[in-house]
A and B are shown apart, each in its own frame.
Chain A
Amino acid sequence: MSALLDVKNLRVSFPTPRGPVEVVRGVSFTLGRERLGIVGESGSGKSMTGRSILKLVRAPGKVTADRLSFDGIELTAQSERQMRAIRGARISMVMQDPKFSLNPVMTIGEQIAEALLTHQTLPRSEIRARVFAMLESVRINDPERVAKLYPHEVSGGMGQRVMIAMMLIPEPDLLIADEPTSALDVSVQAQVLDIINEQIVGKGMGLILISHDLNLVASYCDRILVMYRGEVVEACKASELGQTKHPYTRGLLAAMPRIDENRDELPVLDRSAWATA
């Protein structure tokens, strides 16, 4: 199976008044038509990695890579116009902050319809039906009401599901999902992930799931990359995450409370202990 996405030595840096700061330092991985998880603490560069694949890193940020090829297309060589044709239609991304990424003055229904229409034209009635069907499939029970709401009028979890609906509706080849389910309870989360899974199995879509929820990533993905300070510090099979040896991953695991929690205080990462090592 040829790789859907091949990333080699990806770097993202930001200029600051005190010189450039690299926030992603030489990340390399390949992705087939499978589910890849990226975990890591806040600020470790997970989102930047995802964004740079779509060339969505904002103005002062600079992205370089030895290779960044998607389905045989070298993304680094694409013009902004060519990228626009790829975004949404072939690669789409669920952004981390749904309230921030949705247009606050447009209704949910209009925004999903727009996502649908950017790459094809459809009759009005069909659009309505598709929008409602998509909302229903992400477990929104009353799509007719929700389609008329503005982003601030939906609950946190609904906002995230709306984002997922918007990104799945054009049926992309690769989905980058940045913390897509952080505001969802486990049961809805499982159902929403099933929808994504259907497209992976049915259409051969590839998935990059960015999350800080180790349980989620371990149970849902095939492979996992652990990032720290812009670097991949560990790559393993999802089933092996529980047995990881890396102190950083172990720290993350220990910091999670459990359902039968009896500890009085949760251990937090002691970064100084091994960051220098």
Chain B
Amino acid sequence: MTAISLKNLDISYGHTQITHGVTLDIAAGASFALVGESGSGKSTVLKAIAGLAPQWKGDIAVNGKPRSHGIDRGFSKMCQMVFQDPYGSLHPRKTIDTTLSEPLDIHGIGNQGKRVEETMAAVGLDRRFRFRFPHQLSGGQRQRVAIARALMLEPRILLLDEPTSALDVSVQAEILNLLKRLRREQGLTYLMVTHNLPVVSFLCDRLAVMRGGRIVEVADVAQLKAGTLVDPYSRELLAANKGHALESA
């Protein structure tokens, strides 16, 4: 079954068209990476799927159901998004508890206290953080809260927009391990935007390379690891990565 299917997706903001004919199929349970040039429209694709970029032509289907152009309540239980910036994605005046129970409140789900505690445990947040404010947490802890918030409604699909790029390597490792474990335990589907190819190798099984609003290549991660990507731009990215990697003894 396909979890997310995009066909000939053209997304625009005002008069500027950002993506051109994006076509992708992501199987349920897969972990799919979207990599590519900065400004090429990766985040925009995620936003269109989520309903935050309502101006598009083409088809978006999630779990076989066509998407409407806006945000709808039913969809929010199917698919959630984690944003890039752990500093900007939490409400500065709300405790972690309020942030996490808000989705339950919106959907009228009871037993909030227990669910909040369970989800916090699932993302490895200690109970003592529950009534803290975001400014009392570190970047990595905030990103865990953001992931927990996305998980509150028990969606099957997570859209991850550079979930670790603002974090340092040791925290990045923790978050990556967490995402890997959650997928294993809960059978989630990931569509993740990143510019970090090593992260793709660690977490994903397929990837698409974007440039200038178009998908230039879709490949298996095995190809990435073996360095056998075909498209010239993908090869350029890969080469830049290789040249960059540190020789550690």
Contacts and interface: CB of A to CB of B under 8 A. Distances in A.
A contacts B: CB pair < 8 Å: yes
Contacts of A185: 35-38, 195-196, 237, 240
Contacts of B29: none
B173 A255 contact: yes
B225 A267 contact: no
Interface stretch (B57-65, B71-79, B83-91): B83-91
B130 interface: no
A99 B248 contact: no
Interface stretch (A86-94, A106-114, A120-128, A151-159): A151-159
A267 B174 CA distance: 8
Interface string A167-210: 00000000000010011111110100000000000000000000
B140 A42 contact: yes
Interface residues of A, number: 53
A216 interface: yes
B171 A41 contact: yes
Interface string A63-106: 00000000000000000000000000000000001011000000
B245 A215 contact: yes
A268 B170 contact: yes
Contacts of B22: none
Nearest to A184: B38
A59 to B, nearest CB: 15
Contacts of A184: 38, 195
Nearest to A243: B249
Contacts of B218: none
Interface stretch (B2-10, B107-115, B144-152, B159-167): B159-167
Size category, B interface: 35 or more
A268 B173 contact: yes
B185 interface: no
A252 interface: yes
Given A188-B37, A188-B38, A258 B88 contact: no
Nearest to B197: A259
B55 interface: no
- Chain A at the B interface: mostly helix, strand, loop or mixed? loop
Contacts of B244: 186, 190, 215-216, 219
A255 B246 contact: no
Nearest to A248: B170
Contact of A265 (B42, B171, B177, B195): B177
A193 B245 CA distance: 16
Contacts of B197: 186, 259
Contacts of A259: 197-198, 201, 224-225, 238, 241-242, 245
Contacts of A161: 38
Contact of B38 (A100, A158, A252, A266): A158
A41 B180 contact: no
A18 interface: no
Interface string A141-158: 100010000000111111
A216 B168 CA distance: 13
B39 A251 contact: no
B88 A99 contact: yes
Nearest to A188: B38
